Amino acid sequence: MTTTSFVKYSGNGNDFIIMSESAPLSKDLVIQLCHRNFGIGADGVITFGASAKADARMKIYNADGGEAEMCGNGLRCLATYFDSISSPHKDSYLIETMNSVYPVFRKGRSFALEMSEIKDKNIYDLSQFKDYSNSFYINTGVPHLVFLTENVKSLDVKKVGAYYRHHSMFKKGTNVTFVEVIESDNKKAYARTYERGVENETYSCGTGLTATALALSDWLKWTGDIKLETKGGQQVVSVGDQIFYSGEVSEIFKGEVTL
């Protein structure tokens, strides 16, 4: 058994345990660490280490123990933590993920993330999903299905989200976001996401909000700063020639854990 240092960060309520990639993790251990009653409690575990093509390499493990391709809030949290332990500090960093390298840029007390891995827009026939006025699919680093709805705050996201997350159309599953327009003139909406791997609603999901902003841009022709309210607070996705995602990041606590 080894004792490993960790720090817990939150990106608008989407919380992560961050530790060195030298930590001897397993699927069962990740599940234990993320358990909110018998562990540290988190939506996922992030490990970081050296990279040959970026400032750092990130691996993200969801609360179910499985490794994900990337995570927007997780990447913002890691960038903020990495900056706090780096010398000299920089205004931008490159973070390597499973399939790409992401630029992050200092914005206030945290970092904005350039969402550079956008693909697979509406590659599925979504016409069978008739319960919602609009539907949209895209991969923003991980797959996302987005529905335009009303009364989103009263929706049973865990129940309804699980249905679409496991729908046979999506062979590897998908994340699912439900969005309601709040102020069309101000490009403001409220979004709730059911996350694959967490298997529940999270307070915020960066890749999900990016997918939501792109859906709203597609449906309503919104561009520029799109303001998205979530249970974890307001975040902004800027849609233009490049796409940037930003929000709050905070350190919750740090400590040591025996693995």
Domain ranges of the chain: 3-113+248-258, 134-241
CA 44 to each of CA 8, 31, 120, 197: distance values in angstroms, whole numbers, following the listed order:
10, 9, 25, 9
Domain 134-241 CATH superfamily: Diaminopimelate Epimerase; Chain A, domain 1 (3.10.310.10)
Candidates 17, 95, 104, 205; catalytic one: 205
**Residuewise pLDDT in 10s, the chain (259 residues):** 789 999 999 999 999 999 999 888 999 999 999 999 999 999 999 999 999 999 999 999 999 999 999 999 999 999 999 999 999 999 999 999 999 999 999 998 889 999 999 999 999 999 999 999 999 999 999 999 999 999 999 999 999 999 999 999 999 999 999 999 999 999 999 999 999 999 999 999 999 999 999 999 999 999 999 999 999 999 999 999 999 999 999 999 999 998 8
Asked if 148 contacts 133 with a C-beta cutoff of 8 angstroms, the reply is yes
- Name the strand (E) or helix (H) holding 77: helix 72-84
Q: Is 97 exposed, middle or buried (0-12, 13-18, 19+ CB in 10 A)?
A: buried
Q: Is 34 a catalytic residue?
A: no
Q: Is 77 a catalytic residue?
A: no
User: Distance from CA of residue 182 to its chain's centroid?
Assistant: 22
pLDDT at 259: 86
Domain 3-113+248-258 CATH superfamily: Diaminopimelate Epimerase; Chain A, domain 1 (3.10.310.10)
Candidates 71, 77, 148, 189; catalytic one: 71
Neighbours of 223 (CB within 10 A): 14
